[in-house]
Chain A
Amino acid sequence: PAPAAAGRAPGPPDGGWGWVVVFGAFVSIGFAYAFPKGLAIFFKEIQDFFGTSYSEIAWVSSIMLATTYGAGPISSILVNRYGSRPVVMFGGLLCGVGMISAAFCTSILQLYICVGFITGFGLALNLQPSVIIIGKYFLKRRPIANGLAMAGSPVMLCTLAPLNQFLFDNFGWRGSFLILGAILLNCCVAGALFRPIGAGTALVKTQVAEEGKDALKGKISEDGKEMSSALNVPMENKTEEEEGKDCFEKINQYLDFSLFKHRGFLIYLIGNVLMFLGFFAPIVFLAPYAKHTGIDEYSAAFLLSILAIVDMVARPTTGIIANSKWVRPRIQYFFSFAIAFNGTCHLLCPLASSYTGLIVYSSFFGLAFGMVCAMLFETLMDLVGAARFTSAVGLVTIAECCTILLGPPIGGILIDTFGDYKYMFIKCGAVMVLAGTFLFIMNYYNYRMLAKEEKERKTKEEDPKSVRTENEGRKNWNKDSTQDGPELEPLREEGEGVKKEMNGT
């Protein structure tokens, strides 16, 4: 017997088809992160073929990475408009087309376009929607779902690296690109699994309206829409939102810029942008550093394999830990700790000069890297709520885009200037410890503020009249959208959560 539409809505499935979606996200995210790294095998050959320098070839990777992160907002807008499934399927198609046309390229510029822009854009259309749809299918078990999905990256990397080598040895780079284009079409399969849940398009329209009452009603029914799987909830609010929209609000419809007023979002943004400055450089330079200390090529490559294997295990494990009842309410602290731990590893790396030392470093690095990645999107969802996550992830990725691109080149400059790798490790370690500490302190402040606001809201709720005023409505709406709103309610008392939703009107 299905409950009526008013108020009491069931939570997200937290299972069932959700696990199939996690598998789809696993594949999709795996391709998005691992594919650019896997291409490095072809670079030497392509460099010889076109007679260019190494840095010109490295641009292919950079353009691809920049497009994947920079196209985040576009991805968010499309998901807000059309839902995850069509976007991922289109993304997979785009990736395939990009790589297939790359197989027929006759100049390095054409490669920039085909591999860099087209495939990069396709991967962007894969990454964001996959992360978003996990937030729609899971709430109670979301950290586990996130951890499992993010594990796709190391698994795909471990699969793609030998596969790419095999393809290259048998088909040369042109044939490999052709076949890789077909393999990327599997993202369409992953996308096909992303069954839409709730009514996707009305979501953003309802949450951006700033009018008090409308906002409250909008939030409640939006929650209801978001969380009902196949029920036909009547969309009463649509007509109310249609009035009085100016251009700014129209843009806000598709991409929620009001997030920049959201305290938790800003904290996350600043902390992460800082962190990414030192996040990827150590991976890029691990093998060269190992060779620099005299280790042979294969053992150096083995270090990266150790990193990937530890990473693979660390991500779902972190998801499980983050889901436990001790950690979940304080997940931001866990995230800050993971980042600081990562930074400390880098700071200690220069002390490891022997091969065993580097193996230990790689293992710890793999662990820390996995921990951070597993919680990367989970913490953002935790802060802004699943509804606004779509826009949040787009805005965050485009901001991170700059520092991600800057990180390795800055590391490279440090290495070239001082002729020693240790300054690069120190820089990365310091930046990450700083980011971790910043996030820790700011989240402590954030948690305190949220607790205070929660108390204020509770006292105001006793007085039904004040709930109806415009100001109060806006304040309530802001509170509802922050982490304490629908997020922790199901974790504390289910009854209380239901009561809140009903009392909101």
Chain B
Amino acid sequence: MQFMASKQPENSLLGPESDSQRTLYPYVTGTSVVALKYKDGILMAADMGGSYGSTLRYKSVERMKPIGKHSLLGASGEISDFQEILHYLDELILYDNMWDDGNSLGPKEVHNYLTRVMYNRRNKFNPLWNSLVLGGVKNGQKYLGTVSMIGVNFEDNHVATGFGNHLARPILRQEWHENLSFEDGVRLLEKCMRVLLYRDRSAINKLQIAKITEEGSTISQPYSLKTYWEFSAFANPAQGAVGS
């Protein structure tokens, strides 16, 4: 005789236990992405870390990729979901190219597409666990936007994800201005990344800076920032602490 365990309806909002296909929490994650508009286009920075919880599992993860001719995508959050997004975008760009009509998707269009994808996944209670930064230039128009895992999106002169919102945005609000030179833009991004390196425990000292202009995009080779740990105030951090 067969005993049937009580079965929950397949289409209930919350889903039965057997619905193990939905994202519950992220596994391998990337931390902040920071980006800003400068004179010739967009500059974006992200480190190369892929954390597995509190373990620094992967140290060469490229979290920024060029999309089509005019855009650059940076992602924080679940790395596997980022890879899936790149797969969707590959298809999008392919179909765009196959029209062969001289037109190509600009950053604004790609950002809109990504927003719709993220929002629709959120509607199905199966989000892509990422915060995305989409920057680019088309026909002289610079564009920089962001979209979160639940579909909240906007564009601005500078954006950041995760800890970058807390640590980098205030610096950018203070020091960003129109028509930054390339050197100034990089210096400003490095300032932000250095603060993140000091204060975000999931940040690593191996980063890339990506640039996109009307001419195209480049992603730098990985490099590290100079840090200073000899501030006297931190020399003997436990001095005077209770129980030390």
Say whether A associates with B: no
Interface, chain A (partner B; CB < 8 A): none
Interface, chain B (partner A; CB < 8 A): none
